[in-house]
């Protein structure tokens, strides 16, 4: 389990190392080798999940050292339509600030039941994005 960023800036004086010792260290291991970062989240209450937001906040530590990856994409799904604006806004602000190349934003509404994605017209867009990354 990982906790939210403390805002202590320990990472800024310790080459991106976080003062907290938790499972975020495993996430960093993968982020240091990643060529691309796909942010994916269901929308439960007009924004990405708290779990993803916590990881993003903890990525603050990378602000002092930079990131290995420079390409990103955003995948969102929700049970309703027109609920994606907050997550998209945050993602666009983040990619702009960090000068990451946005490879695409895919929002999939009406995912009300487990397995709904198999029937979604947006599945093709997700597959195309995946193919473009290879």
Quick check: is 10 in a domain?
A: no
Domain of 46: which CATH number?
3.40.50.360
Quick check: is 108 in a domain?
A: yes
Quick check: is 22 in a domain?
A: no
According to the model, what pLDDT value does residue 120 have? 87
Cα(127)–Cα(117) distance, integer angstroms = 12
Quick check: is 66 in a domain?
A: yes
Q: Flag whether the pTM goes above 0.95.
A: no
Tokens in use for 67? 């990131």
Average pLDDT score over residue span 103-127: 90
CB 126 within 8 A of CB 111: no
**Domains of the chain: total:** 1
Quick check: is 101 in a domain?
A: yes
Q: Which domain holds residue 47?
A: 36-132
Tokens in use for 132? 């473009």
CA 56 distance to own-chain centroid: 7
According to the model, what pLDDT value does residue 48 have? 96
Tokens in use for 36? 């691309």
DSSP state letters, 109-127: ----STTGGGG-TTHHHHH
């Amino acid at each position: 389990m990982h906790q939210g960023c403390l805002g202590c800036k320990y990472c800024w004086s310790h080459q991106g190392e976080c003062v907290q010792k938790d499972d975020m260290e495993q996430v960093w291991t993968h982020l240091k080798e990643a060529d691309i970062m796909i942010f994916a989240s269901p929308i439960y209450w007009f924004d990405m999940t708290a779990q993803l937001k916590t990881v993003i906040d903890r990525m603050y530590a990378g602000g002092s050292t930079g990131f290995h990856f420079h390409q990103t994409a955003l995948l969102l799904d929700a049970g309703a339509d027109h609920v994606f604006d907050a997550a998209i806004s945050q993602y666009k602000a983040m990619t702009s600030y960090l000068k990451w190349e946005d490879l695409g934003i895919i929002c999939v509404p009406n995912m009300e039941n487990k397995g709904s994605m198999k029937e979604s017209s947006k599945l093709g867009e997700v597959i195309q994005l995946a193919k473009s990354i290879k």
